[in-house]
Amino acid sequence: MRVPPTIHITEVGPRDGLQMELRVLSTAEKLELIAGLASAGLREIQVAAFVHPEKVPAMADAEALIGALPLHDQMHYSALALNLQGVVRACRTAIPWIEISLSAHDAHSRRNAGLSTTDALAQSGPMLAMAIGAGRKVRASIQCAFGYETPEDVDIDAVAVAASRLVEKGADRLVLADTTGLAAPPTVRRMLAAVAPIAGSIPVGLHLHDTRGLGLANVMAALELGISHFDTSLGGLGGCPFIEGAAGNIATEDALYLFHRLGIATGIDISRVAALSRRLARVFNHPLPGKIYRLAATHLDFRPR
């Protein structure tokens, strides 16, 4: 099996992971977590979301958090925006990457962003133009790309249309999100076969939730097609506040273990990430969904490569 020689991981735990927890971390606690992830070798970290603070209280300190980050060229911090107002807020900060995200399913789009899919797609052009005009890099993501309530309720052609629009407007990366965890290896292959030609030279990444336990199987399917960009969340934290029963992202440590066993370089210290997950499990007073972080440090002998 041929796989990419290196992998690019975007750690989304400080955003996607923390937004689902009842215990809201302070800005200082978040900064400590982000610093720990950076020291473990992670170079792409999604730190915040510019969303309504009453709907997602854990993201209420987005501006303060970004204002306190040690921004430099070696770190690619990003923040999520769902509408034009979110991009306006993001551009008032120094965040270097803005994720402009829309949904491929109308009901989810209305619940998540307060916009129909038609309106969200129309608004994506001005959102990208604003972010690019402010000198920011753009991650453009399509939520529910693999279905909302069933795998059949989102059409591949609709995802392709959205992808074409985002690429045309200047996205630097295109991310397909399995928001409800409905993807399976065959649908991952079909979706990537449809979207990769549209993206052309723009990297395509996957944001996979592990709701039904197929997260790493879907990673394998994507690796076989040459995909090297993946979103992960330490300990498997995460989910969507607007999807009942949504589980977290694939765990960073579990993905790292897979990549390292395949001989793929990541440059990330799995034992350091696992230590952070164990600490969060104590802070939140419940076990996290991931598996590898639970192992004793002596069993995590994979060094950065």
Span 206-239, pLDDT tens digits: 999 998 999 999 999 999 999 999 999 999 998 6
Q: At what angle do helices 252-261 and 215-224 cross, to 10 degrees?
A: 40
- Supply the DSSP string of 15-57, one letter for each residue: IIIGGG-SSPPPHHHHHHHHHHHHHTT--EEEEEEES-TTTSG
E-strand stretches of the chain: 8-11, 44-50, 76-81, 97-103, 137-143, 173-178, 204-208, 229-232
SS3 (DSSP) at 258: helix
- Tell whether 305 is covered by a domain: no
- Tell whether 168 is covered by a domain: yes
- Tell whether 3 is covered by a domain: no
Closest listed residue to residue 174, CA positions, set 212, 147, 202: 202
- Tell whether 304 is covered by a domain: no
What pLDDT is attached to residue 20?
A: 86
Region 26-38 average pLDDT: 98
293: DSSP letter: G
| Local confidence band at 247 (pLDDT 50, 70, 90 cut-offs) | low
SS3 (DSSP) at 249: strand
pTM to 2 decimal places: 0.94
Closest listed residue to residue 105, CA positions, set 48, 162, 188, 57: 162
CATH number at residue 96: 3.20.20.70
Catalytic option among 120, 144, 240, 288: 240
Region 160-174 average pLDDT: 97
Q: Mark out the alpha helices in 42-155 (DSSP H runs).
A: 62-68, 84-91, 106-113, 117-133
- pLDDT at 242 > cutoff 60: no
The encoded tokens of residue 138 equal: 């753009």
| Local confidence band at 49 (pLDDT 50, 70, 90 cut-offs) | very high
SS3 (DSSP) at 221: helix
SS3 (DSSP) at 199: helix
- Tell whether 76 is covered by a domain: yes
| Dist. CA 305–CA 298, nearest whole Å | 18
Note down the domain range covering 182.
8-299
Is residue 144 annotated as a catalytic residue, yes or no? no
| Dist. CA 79–CA 95, nearest whole Å | 7
Tell me the residue length of the chain: 305
What pLDDT is attached to residue 126?
A: 97
- Tell whether 1 is covered by a domain: no
What pLDDT is attached to residue 305?
A: 53
CA–CA–CA angle 128, 130, 136 (5° rounding): 75
| Dist. CA 186–CA 171, nearest whole Å | 26
What pLDDT is attached to residue 301?
A: 58
**Per-residue pLDDT tens over the stretch 116-145:** 889 999 999 999 999 999 999 999 999 999
The encoded tokens of residue 256 equal: 């790292």
| Dist. CA 233–CA 34, nearest whole Å | 12
- Tell whether 77 is covered by a domain: yes
| Dist. CA 169–CA 102, nearest whole Å | 14
Residue 220 half-sphere exposure toward CB, CA atoms < 13 A: 13
The mean pLDDT of the chain is: 93
What pLDDT is attached to residue 241?
A: 63
Region 180-201 average pLDDT: 96
- In the chain, the number of structural domains is 1
Beta strands 44-50; 173-178: pairing state: unpaired
Q: Mark out the alpha helices in 134-269 (DSSP H runs).
A: 156-168, 185-199, 215-224, 252-261
- Tell whether 214 is covered by a domain: yes
SS3 (DSSP) at 209: strand
